[in-house]
């Protein structure tokens, strides 16, 4: 079986801690080339993965040693033009979230990929968080009964800004938490509870020196009658539960973030013992105030993303994240941005 040569555009947080280690851990894939202009990152790429370093993304498809798959983990504003260029060059593409700033831009990429007969998928890795997998299993098994409310949070306490385009950039940079963590929150809500018919949002900038939203709330009304309340914040001195999900029979309560990001940042790989496994003291609970039991968290499964990409390219399997699903999520995010700006409910 021919090895798939992967070209990675960008070696910042997303490229270094998520994509590169997951690609390297996938049988039949090789991290062949990385686009970065940073000398320190270039040295790490060469030493850690044996990949060649190139200075321009076009070298991945115009150079003497082209790749078989392009992964885009560069700043958000570059996602659309780079994905478009790679697709026009005849290469399948993985794009880190968010795919685009608007649903219209995303739809254009989907149509281009379809016309060229190429795979386009998006790294919505939080679908494979252990707690979300656990919640999905509980809902599918009917343990909660009919789900009426999803409360979901990605909150942090970062009173001092870290700097960088994610905080200082504006709309043209697709900066801020609405499109960053909000991409995950909305995607999970859609996967769990289905289509959205109305959106209300509040989005604020709380810290001096920050230009993009760092305190955002989104309320979704789903077509099936359930409601989602979603929080993304960098200024949260007392963190709320990661999940509080209420149903007609029981509720699920879970604190703390999935362990995989923490493990990847610490240098672990999917081959490391215990990767993705959450310790029992962090498990969530299911039931009512009168009758509650601890629920073991499913192992996180980020390592399954790139094998699924390989199956799409080799066997024609569906991509791990359908691009049409991403268009749906971006439609909701656009409505949330409009709702926050106009201080009203937006109907879809």
DSSP for 287-319, please give it: EETTEEEEEPPPPP-GGGHHHHHHHHHHH-PPP
Q: What is the pLDDT of residue 63?
A: 81
Asked if 247 and 235 sit in the same domain, the reply is: yes
* CA separation for the pair 236, 54 (Å, rounded): 40
Asked if 228 and 81 sit in the same domain, the reply is: no
Asked if 229 and 107 sit in the same domain, the reply is: no
Which residue in this structure is represented by tokens 């989104």?
218
- Nearest CA-CA partner of 231 in 150, 331, 144: 150
User: What total of structural domains would you count in the chain?
Assistant: 2
Is residue 325 in some structural domain? no
Q: What would the pLDDT profile of 128-166 be if each residue is shown by its tens digit?
A: 999 999 999 999 999 999 999 999 999 999 999 998 999
Q: What is the pLDDT of residue 172?
A: 87
Asked if 79 and 135 sit in the same domain, the reply is: no
Distance of CA 187 to the CA centre of its chain: 8
- Prediction pTM value: 0.96
Asked if 217 and 110 sit in the same domain, the reply is: no
Q: What would the pLDDT profile of 97-109 be if each residue is shown by its tens digit?
A: 999 999 999 999 9
Q: What would the pLDDT profile of 33-57 be if each residue is shown by its tens digit?
A: 999 999 999 999 999 999 999 999 9
Question: What's the token pair of residue 115?
Answer: 């016309």
| 8 Å CB contact between 7 and 69 | yes
Q: What is the pLDDT of residue 170?
A: 85
Is residue 265 in some structural domain? yes
Question: What's the token pair of residue 240?
Answer: 């709320």
Asked if 60 and 131 sit in the same domain, the reply is: no
Overall average pLDDT of the 195-199 stretch: 98
Which residue in this structure is represented by tokens 């190139």?
54
The last residue of a domain, from among 123, 145, 176: 123
b/e per residue 257-289 (b: at least 16 CB within 10 A): bbbbbebbeeebebeeeebbbbeeebbbebbee
* Alpha-carbon torsion (153, 158, 162, 165), positive or negative: positive
Is residue 17 in some structural domain? yes
Which residue in this structure is represented by tokens 């106009």?
342
Asked if 234 and 200 sit in the same domain, the reply is: yes
Q: Residue 42: which CATH number?
A: 3.40.50.720
Question: What's the token pair of residue 325?
Answer: 């699903």
Which residues are registered as beta bridge partners of 204? Answer: 215
Residue 162: give the domain boundaries.
Answer: 126-301+331-347
- Nearest CA-CA partner of 312 in 127, 125, 124, 118: 118
Q: What is the pLDDT of residue 328?
A: 98
Overall average pLDDT of the 295-315 stretch: 98
Question: What's the token pair of residue 59?
Answer: 């070298």
- Nearest CA-CA partner of 36 in 48, 23, 51, 21: 51
Q: Residue 134: which CATH number?
A: 3.30.360.10
* CA separation for the pair 344, 348 (Å, rounded): 13
Is residue 320 in some structural domain? no
pLDDT at residue 209 greater than cutoff 80: yes
Is residue 306 in some structural domain? no
Is residue 324 in some structural domain? no
Mean pLDDT of the chain: 97
The last residue of a domain, from among 123, 155, 174: 123
Asked if 37 and 131 sit in the same domain, the reply is: no
Cα–Cα–Cα angle for 128, 157, 346, nearest 5°? Answer: 65
pLDDT at residue 13 greater than cutoff 80: yes
Beta strands in the chain (DSSP E): 4-9, 29-35, 52-54, 69-72, 93-96, 120-123, 147-155, 196-204, 215-222, 227-233, 243-247, 251-254, 284-288, 291-295, 346-347
Asked if 208 and 343 sit in the same domain, the reply is: yes
Is residue 79 in some structural domain? yes
Angle of helix 181-193 versus helix 130-140 axis, rounded to 10: 20
Question: What's the token pair of residue 10?
Answer: 């960008």
Q: What would the pLDDT profile of 220-278 be if each residue is shown by its tens digit?
A: 999 999 999 999 999 999 999 999 999 999 999 999 999 999 999 999 999 999 999 99
Distance from the first to the final alpha carbon of the chain = 46
Asked if 106 and 11 sit in the same domain, the reply is: yes
Is residue 309 in some structural domain? no
The last residue of a domain, from among 95, 123, 151: 123
pLDDT tier, 171 (very low <50, low <70, confident <90, very high otherwise): confident
Using a CB cutoff of 8 Å and minimum separation of 24, what contacts does 35-41 make? 35/7, 35/8, 35/9, 35/10, 35/11, 35/59, 35/60, 35/74, 36/10, 36/11, 38/11, 41/11, 41/16
Q: What is the pLDDT of residue 1?
A: 59
Asked if 174 and 225 sit in the same domain, the reply is: yes
Asked if 153 and 141 sit in the same domain, the reply is: yes
pLDDT at residue 175 greater than cutoff 70: yes
Q: What is the pLDDT of residue 230?
A: 98
């Amino acid at each position: 079986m021919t090895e798939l040569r992967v070209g990675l555009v960008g070696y910042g947080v997303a490229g270094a801690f998520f994509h590169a280690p997951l690609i390297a851990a996938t049988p039949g894939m090789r991290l062949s080339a990385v686009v970065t202009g940073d000398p320190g990152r270039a040295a790490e790429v060469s030493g850690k993965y044996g990949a060649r370093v190139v200075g321009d993304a076009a070298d991945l498809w115009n150079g003497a040693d082209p790749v078989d798959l392009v992964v885009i983990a560069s700043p958000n504003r570059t996602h659309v033009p780079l994905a478009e260029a790679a697709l026009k060059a005849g290469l399948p593409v993985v794009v880190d979230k968010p795919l685009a700033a608007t649903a219209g831009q995303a739809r254009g990429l989907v149509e281009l990929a379809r016309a060229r007969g190429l795979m386009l998928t998006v790294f919505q890795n939080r679908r494979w968080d252990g707690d979300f997998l656990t919640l999905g299993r509980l809902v599918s098994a009917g343990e909660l009964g009919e789900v009426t409310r999803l409360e979901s949070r990605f909150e942090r306490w970062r009173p001092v800004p870290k700097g960088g385009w994610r905080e200082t950039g504006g709309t043209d940079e697709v900066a801020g938490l609405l499109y960053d963590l909000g991409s995950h929150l909305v995607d999970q809500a859609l996967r769990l509870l289905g289509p959205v018919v109305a959106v209300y949002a509040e989005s604020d900038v709380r810290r001096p020196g920050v230009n993009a939203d760092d305190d955002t709330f989104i309320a979704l009304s789903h077509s099936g009658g359930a409601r989602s309340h979603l929080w993304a914040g960098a200024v949260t001195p007392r963190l709320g539960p990661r999940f509080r999900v209420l149903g007609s029979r029981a509720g699920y309560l879970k604190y703390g973030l999935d362990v995989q990001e923490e493990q990847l940042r610490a240098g672990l790989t999917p081959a490391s013992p215990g990767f993705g496994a959450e310790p029992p003291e962090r498990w969530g609970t299911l039931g009512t105030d009168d009758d509650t039991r601890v629920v073991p968290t499913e192992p996180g499964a980020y390592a399954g993303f790139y094998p699924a990409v390989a199956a799409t390219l080799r066997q024609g399997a569906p991509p791990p994240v359908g691009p049409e699903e991403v268009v749906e999520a971006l439609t909701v995010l656009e409505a949330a941005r409009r709702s926050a700006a106009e201080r009203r409910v937006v109907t879809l």
